[in-house]
Structure formats: structure tokens, C-alpha cells
Amino acid sequence: MRLLFVCVAVLVATPQADAKPKKPKPAPAEPADQPSASGAGAPEDPAPKKHKHKGWPSPAAGPTKSGDPELIFTFDDGPNPRTTPDVLDALAKHHVHATFFMIGEMAASKNKKIPDIVARMEHDGHVIGSHTMTHPDLCRTKLGDDKANAEIDDGIAAIEKATHVLLPWFRTPYGVRCDRVDSMLAARHLHHFHWDLDPQEWKHNDPEKAYAYVTKQLAKMSGRNVLLMHDIKTATVQALPRILDWLEAENARRKIAHERPIRIIAGYELAAEQLPPGLVDALSEAAADVGELPAALASALP
């Protein structure tokens, strides 16, 4: 059941047919220092030659469906036994469901805590996607086609083995896009899930900067935005509870002021957008708790 749910959920991450891509520009960087048994997080050669970059369509997950400002939480580079549990605790406290883009070698780590962390993600109703095996730049020419393909395939295999879930959601390291990436994803029927908001806590590791950036952007947003953070960073662990507290207080203020609330969109809600409203309501009532809702949705899919 869960396999079918994830396959439907990914349709929402596919750019809208009429979405117009922004003018191509260098893609935001992601951390090069994530924990890595193979040393994949080591700094790369300066100014490596790359395939020509292209931009991803925006907004990353399409327009708002409710008319409210809508926010989707996503986290990259884990799971990390030192930090990911704290991120899960913060999300659980505020009943928020996110999408975690794992690195294959992290999911396949021999650390005995990893299976419990992955199991908790699934139990708590989070969606899991792939972020390659070792986090390389897939558009870098020095990374040959064979290695680039292996990064995608090996990463997916490692994460699917850890989660027992098919992974049609995918995110490239550094958010890169080029003709090679497009071809590799198309050949595998994978859909890229980009982002709109990046507090760059992976770079400065300053929770105050991350908090200030996110809350400033959320205060003025009007459409649907995908937020990128990293569950391996202490800045994320420290900033996330404050961001979630701010959201709660801001929505309380907006309720009094009769303003549109900031609506947090979960992975299973993205899937629900593809089903008839009446069926979604019936399945929601049938599920005893939110942890059962993804399976309930999946049971109704063809």
C-alpha cells in the first residue's frame, strides 16, 4: 500500500505543464561537508567543469491549491543519528509531516540507530526520497556518465532497502540540473523535487540566521513554497523548533486579524490532491490516526 501512495504523491512534485521556468542561473549549493564514510563530502576541485546548467520550474511544487500561503517542509542529507531524531521530535510536537531526501550511504550506515530512525519517519507519516548515494554534483563533467548513473541507482537501492518503499521522489545534490540529469531522470521515470526557500544553514550553520531568513520569507509569502533544510545540521536542530513556534503564533495572530493562515502541506496531502475530494474525506475518517492515512490513501488508488 505504501508503495502506491508514494508513487501518487510524486505526481505533485512534477512541475505543472504550464509552469514557465525561470531564467537559468547557477543552482544553489548544498553542503559539501555532510558526514560520509566514503569521503564524498570532501571539498571538490575549484571551479570544476560542468555540463551546462538549467533552472528548475518555479514554484517548485506548483501553485497553492487552497488559496492560502502553503508551506512544504523538506530535509536533505540524512539520516544522522545525532541530529535527525531531534528534527523528528520538533516536527512531531507540532504535528508537521515533511519529506526527507536521504543519502544512500547514510541510510545504509551500520549505525544501529539508523533503522529505528527510518522506521520512525515512516510511522510518523513523513515521505522519503532519494538524494543520490554519496552527494556528488551530477552535472560535473569529471563525474562520468557511468558514475553519475550509479549514484542515482545505488542511492535508490540503498534507501529502498532501508525503507522498503519505492522512491519516485528525487532531489539532485546542489539542486543542479543539466541535460544529463534530465536524461537520467527521464530514463528512470523519476521526478525532481526542487525548492523555493533556502536559509543556507548548511553553509553558515547559524540558527539565528536560519530562523530570521525563514520567518521573514514566510511572513510575506502568498503562494506555495518548498522549504529546504538539512537534518544533519545543528543549526537546523536549533532553528526548527523556533520556526515552528513562530508559525503557530503567526497563525494565531492571523486568525484574530481574519487573515489567511500559513497552511503546512504534508506529503500525503500532496497525494490527496490527485484523488476525488469525497474519497479523501472518507479515507481520512477511516484512518485511526495520521500514521495510517498514507496507507489508507494508497488502498484507494488504481
Q: What is the DSSP string of 227-271?
A: EEEETT-HHHHHHHHHHHHHHHHHHHHHHHTT----EEPPHHHHH
Contact 29, 147 (CB under 8 A): no
Give the separation between CA 98 and CA 87, rounded to whole angstroms. 10
Active site residue 192: no
Give the separation between CA 120 and CA 163, rounded to whole angstroms. 10
Say what the pLDDT of residue 78 is: 97
Q: What structural domains and CATH numbers belong to the chain?
A: 49-268 (3.20.20.370)
Give the separation between CA 256 and CA 276, rounded to whole angstroms. 32
Give, for all 302 residues of the chain, the pLDDT tens digit. Answer: 444 444 444 333 333 333 333 433 444 444 433 434 333 333 333 445 678 888 999 999 889 999 999 999 999 999 999 999 999 999 999 999 999 999 999 999 999 999 999 999 999 999 899 999 999 999 999 999 999 999 999 999 999 999 988 777 899 999 999 999 999 999 998 989 999 999 999 999 999 999 999 999 999 999 999 999 999 999 999 999 999 999 999 999 999 999 999 999 997 777 666 555 555 565 556 555 555 555 454 444 33
Say what the pLDDT of residue 49 is: 66
Say what the pLDDT of residue 288 is: 55
Give the separation between CA 9 and CA 31, rounded to whole angstroms. 27
Active site residue 77: no
Say what the pLDDT of residue 196 is: 96
| Catalytic-role residue among 51, 76, 154, 231 | 76
Residue 118 C-alpha cell reads as 527510518
| Catalytic-role residue among 135, 192, 194, 230 | 230
Say what the pLDDT of residue 271 is: 61
Q: Which residue bears the cell 560535473?
A: 140
What one-character-per-residue DSSP string does 266-299 give?
Answer: PHHHHHHTTS-HHHHHHHHHH-SSGGGHHHHHHH
